[in-house]
C-alpha cells in the first residue's frame, strides 16, 4: 500500500524511545528489517516493521500499562474542523503505542477510508485496467456486518483492512452503499424498533466474544469516524461509545457546534438513559491570539473537564483535507518528526488518559 521507508532515528521518534533501544529491541524480537542496498548498510524500516516493533515493545517491554478498553466516536456537527484527519492520525498513534486499534468509517463519503489508501469508488475491473493493486478496492463496509443486512452479510475478518500489517490500526472501510444502513435503521425506527441501539447491541456482543463472526475481544481501542450529519448511524455510534471526541476549529470557533452537540447528548441521556462523555480537541489553534484565548476560556467554563489542555496549532502540515497525495499515509506517519505530529501524539496520549486507558 504505502511504500514509505524510515531510518532508525525516525522510528525511535515515533516510538518515543532511543535509537539504541530500537536497535536492541530489533535484536531481541527477531523482526527482520531490510538494509539499504547501495552505500551505508543502514536499516530501512517499513511501516509494517514499525508497527510490529511497537506491538512487540508493548508486549515485552511495556512502557504504558493498559487499564481498560475504550470505545469512542470522533464526531463534529459541522465539517471543516479536521475531524477525519484527527481520527486517522489517532488510530495510527494508538497503534504506535502498542494498542490494538480498530477504526470504523461510518461516513459513506469514505474520506477516512481514502486516508488509509483505499478507494471506495474503485472496482476490481477498474483496478486491473489501471494496473492498481486490488487491495485498494472496497467491497465490504460496516453495514455488511449488521444482523439482517439484506445485501450480503460478511464477517469482521472479511471486512477488515490492514494498511500497515496486522499490528497497525485495522479499519472497517466505507463506500457510498453504506448509506443504505441509515435507511434501514430509519425504517426500523418507523416500525417501532429501537434501531438507535442496534449498533450498541452489536458492539457489546462483539466485546463479549459470543459472536465469532464479530469478535472484538482483542481490541484495546475502537474508534468510529462518524459523518457530520445527525443521522441514525451517527446516533447509533454515539450510543455505542463511552466517549465522543469532538474537534473544534479555534480560528472559526462558534459556540453553536458544541452547544448543539451538548444538547444531542442531553437528549440521548433522556431518551436512552446514557450518552458518551464529551472530550473537546482544539484544532487550528493560534497561540497568543486574544480571540482564541477567550474561546478557550469559554469552553473551559461551559464544559468543565471536556477541553483537552493539548491543542493542535494551525500549520501547513495539518491541512483540512486529508492529503494532496493519495500515496502518503496520515501525517503522523508521513512526517513523524514534524511539530504537528508531536502535537497529535500529545493529544492522543491526553485522550487515552481522559478515557482511562492509560495512567497520566
pLDDT for res 195 = 86
Find which of 18-32, 35-49, 279-293 is predicted with most confidence, using mean pLDDT: 18-32
Separation of CA 204 from chain center? 19
pLDDT for res 112 = 95
Average pLDDT score over residue span 207-225: 95
- Enumerate the domain spans of the chain: 1-63, 66-354
pLDDT for res 314 = 79
Contact 80, 152 (CB under 8 A): no
Taking the complete model, does pTM exceed 0.85, yes or no? Answer: yes
In this structure, of 16-20, 203-207, 215-219, 289-293, the range with the lowest mean pLDDT score is: 289-293
Residues 6+ apart with CB under 8 A from 146: 153, 181, 184, 198, 199, 202
Contact 283, 86 (CB under 8 A): yes
d(CA 144, CA 291): 46
Q: Is the pLDDT of residue 82 over 90?
A: no
Contact 211, 205 (CB under 8 A): yes
d(CA 145, CA 96): 27
pLDDT for res 11 = 97
pLDDT for res 320 = 45
Kindly report the average pLDDT of the chain as a whole number.
Answer: 90
Name residue, grid cell 551505508. Answer: 40
Q: Is the pLDDT of residue 219 over 70?
A: yes
Count of other CB atoms within 10 angstroms of residue 331? 24
Identical fold between 1-63 and 66-354: no
Q: Is the pLDDT of residue 128 over 50?
A: yes
Identify the CATH class of 1-63.
mainly alpha
Residues 6+ apart with CB under 8 A from 111: 84, 322
pLDDT for res 254 = 61
Tens of pLDDT along 135-147? 899 999 999 999 8
Average pLDDT score over residue span 248-275: 84
Q: Is the pLDDT of residue 212 over 90?
A: yes
Tens of pLDDT along 276-335? 999 999 887 777 677 677 777 778 888 889 989 998 887 777 654 444 455 789 999 999
- HEC string of the chain equals CCCCEECHHHHHHHHCCCHHHHHHHHHHHCCCCCECCCCCCCECEEHHHHHHHHHHHHHHCCCCCCCCCEEEEECCCCCCCCHHHHHHHHHHHHHHCCCCEEEEEECCCCHHHHHCCCECCCCHHHHHHHCCCHHHECCCCHHHHCCCCCCCCCCHHHHCECECECCCCEEECCCHHHHHHHHHHHHHHHCCCCHHHHHHHHHHHHHHCCCHHHCCCCCCEEEEEECCCCCHHHHHHHHHCCEEEEEEECCCCCHHHHHHHHHHHHHHHHHHCCCCEEEEEEEEECCCCHHHHHHHHHHHHHCCCCEEEEEEECCCCCCCCCCCCCCCCCHHHHCCCCHHHHHHHHHHHHHHHHCCCCCC
Higher-pLDDT residue of 66 and 325 is: 66
Count of other CB atoms within 10 angstroms of residue 175? 22
Average pLDDT score over residue span 31-46: 87
Count of other CB atoms within 10 angstroms of residue 304? 8
CATH number of 66-354, picked from 3.40.1280.10, 3.40.50.300, 1.10.3720.10, 1.10.8.870: 3.40.50.300
Find which of 2-11, 212-221, 266-275 is predicted with most confidence, using mean pLDDT: 212-221
Closest CA to 313 of 291, 346, 284: 284
pLDDT for res 184 = 92
Average pLDDT score over residue span 180-189: 91
d(CA 187, CA 189): 5
Amino acid at each position: 500500500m504505502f511504500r514509505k521507508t524510515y531510518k532508525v532515528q525516525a522510528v525511535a521518534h515515533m516510538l518515543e524511545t532511543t535509537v539504541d533501544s530500537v536497535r536492541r529491541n530489533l535484536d531481541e524480537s527477531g523482526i527482520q528489517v531490510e538494509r539499504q542496498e547501495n552505500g551505508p548498510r543502514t536499516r530501512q524500516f517499513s511501516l509494517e516493521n514499525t508497527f510490529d516493533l511497537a506491538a512487540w515493545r508493548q508486549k515485552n517491554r511495556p512502557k504504558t500499562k493498559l487499564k481498560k478498553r475504550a470505545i469512542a466516536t470522533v464526531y463534529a456537527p459541522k465539517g471543516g474542523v479536521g475531524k477525519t484527519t484527527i481520527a486517522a492520525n489517532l488510530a495510527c498513534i494508538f497503534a504506535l503505542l502498542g494498542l490494538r486499534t480498530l477504526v470504523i468509517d461510518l461516513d459513506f463519503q469514505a474520506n477516512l477510508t481514502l486516508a488509509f489508501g483505499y478507494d471506495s469508488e474503485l472496482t476490481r475491473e477498474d483496478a486491473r485496467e489501471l494496473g492498481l493493486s486490488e487491495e485498494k478496492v472496497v467491497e465490504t463496509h460496516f453495514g455488511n456486518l449488521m444482523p439482517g443486512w439484506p445485501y450480503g452479510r460478511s464477517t469482521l475478518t472479511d471486512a477488515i483492512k490492514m494498511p500497515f500489517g496486522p499490528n497497525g490500526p485495522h479499519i472497517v472501510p466505507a463506500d457510498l452503499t453504506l448509506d443504505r444502513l441509515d435507511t434501514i435503521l430509519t425504517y426500523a425506527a418507523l416500525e417501532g424498533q429501537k434501531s438507535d441501539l442496534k449498533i450498541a447491541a452489536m458492539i457489546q456482543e462483539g466485546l463479549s466474544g459470543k459472536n465469532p463472526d464479530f469478535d472484538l475481544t482483542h481490541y484495546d481501542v475502537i474508534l468510529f469516524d462518524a459523518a457530520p450529519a445527525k443521522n441514525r448511524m451517527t446516533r447509533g455510534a454515539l450510543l455505542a461509545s463511552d466517549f465522543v471526541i469532538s474537534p473544534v476549529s479555534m480560528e472559526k470557533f462558534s459556540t453553536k457546534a458544541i452547544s448543539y452537540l451538548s444538547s444531542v447528548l442531553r437528549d440521548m441521556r433522556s431518551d436512552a438513559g446514557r450518552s458518551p462523555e464529551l472530550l473537546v480537541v482544539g484544532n487550528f489553534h493560534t497561540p497568543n491570539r486574544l480571540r482564541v484565548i477567550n474561546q478557550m476560556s469559554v469552553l473551559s467554563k461551559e464544559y468543565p473537564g471536556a477541553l483537552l489542555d493539548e491543542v493542535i496549532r494551525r500549520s501547513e502540515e495539518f491541512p483540512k483535507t486529508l492529503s494532496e497525495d493519495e500515496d502518503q499515509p496520515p501525517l503522523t506517519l508521513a512526517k513523524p518528526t514534524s511539530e504537528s505530529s508531536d502535537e497529535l501524539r500529545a493529544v492522543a496520549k491526553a485522550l487515552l488518559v481522559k478515557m482511562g486507558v492509560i495512567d497520566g
